[in-house]
Amino acid sequence: MGAGSPSVRCWGGGINTAPTVRATRSRSDNAHRQGGWGRLRAWIRRSRLLSSGYGLRLDGYFLLNEGWLDGAGGSTLSRILDQAQQGQTRPTHFSGRTCSGASDQTGGTVNSDRGPLFEIDTIADGHALPRVLIAALEETSSPVCITTADLDAPGPTIVYVNPAYSQMTRRDRADVIGRSPRIMQGPLTDRAVLDRLRDDLSAGRPFSGETINYRADGEPFYIAWSIDPVLDDDGVATHYVATQRDVTAEVVAERVRLAEEGLDTALVDALGSPSDTEAALTLLLDAVAVGAGRVAGYGTAEVTLRDPALGPLQASVGTSAESPANPDDTVEVRIPMTRVDGVTIGSITIGNLRADERDMIDQPSLNRVAERAAAVITGLAEYQRQRRTALRLQEAMLPRVDAAPDGFEIASRYLPGDVGAYVGGDWFDVIETATAIVLVVGDVSGHGIDAATTMARLQTLTAAEIRAGRPIDQIFDVLDRACRDDATMATMTLAMISTDSKDALIWSAGHLPPVRFGPDGATLVAVSPIPPLGHLRGEQPNAATTPLSDGESLLFFTDGLVERRGEPLPEGLDRLCAALGGAAGPLDDIVDSVIASRSAEDDTAVVAVRRHLSANEEEPPSPR
Structure-derived torsion over alpha carbons of residues 277, 283, 284, 287, reported in degrees to the nearest 10: 180
Do both 256 and 376 map to the same domain?
Answer: yes
Do both 375 and 407 map to the same domain?
Answer: no
Q: How far is CA 77 from CA 175, 562, 573, in A?
A: 24, 94, 98
Q: What is the pLDDT of residue 411?
A: 93
Is 617 within a domain?
no
Do both 129 and 159 map to the same domain?
Answer: no
Is 300 within a domain?
yes
Q: What is the pLDDT of residue 69?
A: 33
Boundary of a domain, candidates 212, 246, 280: 246
Least confident of 118-132, 177-191, 398-412: 118-132
DSSP summary character for residue 89: -
State the chain's mean pLDDT as an integer: 73
Is 618 within a domain?
no
Percent helix / strand / coil, the chain, rounded to 5: 35, 30, 40
Least confident of 39-53, 80-94, 257-271: 39-53
Find, among 614, 599, 585, 613, the residue nearest to 411 by Cα: 585
| pLDDT tens digits, 452-486 | 788 888 988 999 999 999 999 999 999 999 999 88
Per the model's pLDDT, the better-predicted residue between 6 and 607 turns out to be: 607
Do both 499 and 377 map to the same domain?
Answer: no
Is 2 within a domain?
no
When pLDDT is cut at 50, 70 and 90, the band that residue 530 belongs to is: very high
Question: Is 508 a residue whose pLDDT tops 90?
Answer: yes
For residue 355, the SS3 value is helix
Do both 407 and 370 map to the same domain?
Answer: no
Rounded mean pLDDT, 559-566: 87
What pTM was estimated for this model as a whole?
A: 0.47
**CATH code for the domain of 404:** 3.60.40.10
Secondary structure of 136-187 in HEC code, one letter for each residue: HHHHCCCCEEEEECCCCCCCCCEEEECHHHHHHHCCCHHHHCCCCHHHHCCC
**By residue range, what is the domain housing residue 36?**
7-133
Find, among 421, 427, 469, the residue nearest to 444 by Cα: 427
Is 468 within a domain?
yes
Rounded mean pLDDT, 404-423: 75
Boundary of a domain, candidates 208, 229, 246: 246
User: Is the omega angle on the peptide bond into residue 514 within 30 degrees of 0, that is, cis?
Assistant: no
Question: Is 173 a residue whose pLDDT tops 60?
Answer: yes
Beta bridge partners of 306: 312
Q: What is the pLDDT of residue 95?
A: 36
Least confident of 352-366, 382-396, 451-465: 382-396
Q: What is the pLDDT of residue 538?
A: 86
**CATH code for the domain of 264:** 3.30.450.40
When pLDDT is cut at 50, 70 and 90, the band that residue 383 belongs to is: confident
Per the model's pLDDT, the better-predicted residue between 314 and 428 turns out to be: 428
Q: What is the pLDDT of residue 547?
A: 93
Question: Is 442 a residue whose pLDDT tops 50?
Answer: yes
Least confident of 13-27, 95-109, 469-483, 500-514: 13-27
Question: Is 17 a residue whose pLDDT tops 50?
Answer: no
When pLDDT is cut at 50, 70 and 90, the band that residue 394 belongs to is: low
Do both 82 and 214 map to the same domain?
Answer: no
Task: Give the count of beta carbons closer than 10 Å to the beta carbon of residue 91.
Answer: 17
Question: Is 304 a residue whose pLDDT tops 70?
Answer: yes
Do both 52 and 158 map to the same domain?
Answer: no
When pLDDT is cut at 50, 70 and 90, the band that residue 489 belongs to is: very high
Q: What is the pLDDT of residue 22?
A: 32
When pLDDT is cut at 50, 70 and 90, the band that residue 317 belongs to is: low
| pLDDT tens digits, 103-156 | 333 333 333 333 333 333 332 233 344 567 777 888 899 999 999 888 887 889
Per the model's pLDDT, the better-predicted residue between 328 and 518 turns out to be: 518
Percent of the chain whose predicted confidence (pLDDT) is above 90: 31
End-to-end CA distance of the chain: 137
Q: What is the pLDDT of residue 398?
A: 63
Rounded mean pLDDT, 156-164: 90
Per the model's pLDDT, the better-predicted residue between 562 and 597 turns out to be: 562
| pLDDT tens digits, 596-606 | 888 766 788 99
Rounded mean pLDDT, 218-247: 90
When pLDDT is cut at 50, 70 and 90, the band that residue 326 belongs to is: low
Do both 107 and 192 map to the same domain?
Answer: no
When pLDDT is cut at 50, 70 and 90, the band that residue 49 belongs to is: very low
Q: What is the pLDDT of residue 276?
A: 60
Do both 434 and 573 map to the same domain?
Answer: yes
Do both 416 and 452 map to the same domain?
Answer: yes
Q: What is the pLDDT of residue 26?
A: 29
Rounded mean pLDDT, 182-190: 91
Is 616 within a domain?
no
Q: What is the pLDDT of residue 307?
A: 60
Least confident of 235-249, 394-408, 482-496, 590-604: 394-408
**CATH code for the domain of 195:** 3.30.450.20
Do both 362 and 489 map to the same domain?
Answer: no
Q: What is the pLDDT of residue 109?
A: 35
422, 385 contact by CB (below 8 A): no
Per the model's pLDDT, the better-predicted residue between 70 and 193 turns out to be: 193
Dist. CA 622–CA 619, nearest whole Å:
9
76, 91 contact by CB (below 8 A): no
When pLDDT is cut at 50, 70 and 90, the band that residue 409 belongs to is: very high
Is 600 within a domain?
yes
Boundary of a domain, candidates 246, 268, 303: 246
Helices 277-296 and 248-272 pack at an angle, to 10 degrees, of 170
When pLDDT is cut at 50, 70 and 90, the band that residue 612 belongs to is: confident
Is 75 within a domain?
yes
Do both 161 and 124 map to the same domain?
Answer: no
| pLDDT tens digits, 245-293 | 999 989 888 888 888 888 777 777 766 554 566 677 777 788 888 888 8
Per the model's pLDDT, the better-predicted residue between 318 and 483 turns out to be: 483
Q: Count structural domains, the chain.
A: 4
Rounded mean pLDDT, 22-38: 30
Q: What is the pLDDT of residue 121?
A: 33
Give the highest mean pLDDT range of 78-82, 175-179, 569-573.
Answer: 569-573
